[in-house]
Amino acid sequence: MLDNDLSNAILNKQGELLFTTLAEECTELAQACCKINRQKFYKKDYINVLDNFFEELCDLKINLDLIKQQVMKETGMSSEEYEKNIEIWKEIKQEKLKKIFKTDTIDEYYNHLIKAKYIKENGEPIKCLKCGSTNLKDKGHYHEEYYVVEYDRVCEDCGEVVGHWAYGYWMNF
């Protein structure tokens, strides 16, 4: 996307900061998407905010390309190895998405979560859907008349709320 001289100049100046820059660009792209959603919600034409969306998308792609070069430089990984890893993770992600979005009913989805050991039969979370960790902790207890009536189960590794228990029942996210 960028010529080699410009890429090398950015890599030399940014170095480790590329990962922070990528996080910032992701946030800016999310904000651009929110602007589009806001326009659509208020039934307004969103064409006028598309320039910002495309600019942020371009920034994100540039950062991803630069990070690829940085990872290859630091690890000695070839471009082919890097792309092979990307393809492997695309396939893994596609399989996960199929299991979530190609189920016909919520019951099938819950059955999948039970079989994959993400939740127990009663809906109690035992593994994080986001990172796969089993390091879960109950937090945010709410009491009524000295009894716990609600709390969240949170992944200690990534911070994701994986379930909410209230009045004897689990709700999963």
Q: How confident is the model at residue 42 (pLDDT cuts 50, 70, 90)?
A: confident
Looking at the fold, whether 9 and 66 belong to one and the same domain comes out as: yes
| Pair 122, 110: CB distance under 8 Å | no
Domain tally, the chain = 2
Residues 30-37: contacts with CB under 8 Å, at least 24 apart:
31/56, 32/56, 32/57
Last residue of a domain, one of 20, 48, 78: 78
Looking at the fold, whether 73 and 8 belong to one and the same domain comes out as: yes
| Pair 125, 100: CB distance under 8 Å | no
Looking at the fold, whether 72 and 130 belong to one and the same domain comes out as: no
Last residue of a domain, one of 54, 78, 102: 78
98 in any annotated domain: no
Looking at the fold, whether 8 and 72 belong to one and the same domain comes out as: yes
pLDDT tens per residue across span 1-18: 678 888 888 888 887 788
64 in any annotated domain: yes
Which residue range is the domain that position 147 belongs to?
Answer: 123-172
Please state the pTM of the whole predicted model.
0.54
User: Residues 90, 92, 93, 97: is their CA dihedral positive or negative?
Assistant: positive
pLDDT at 163: 93
| Pair 167, 149: CB distance under 8 Å | yes
Q: What angle do CA 56, 58, 64 make, to 5 degrees?
A: 105
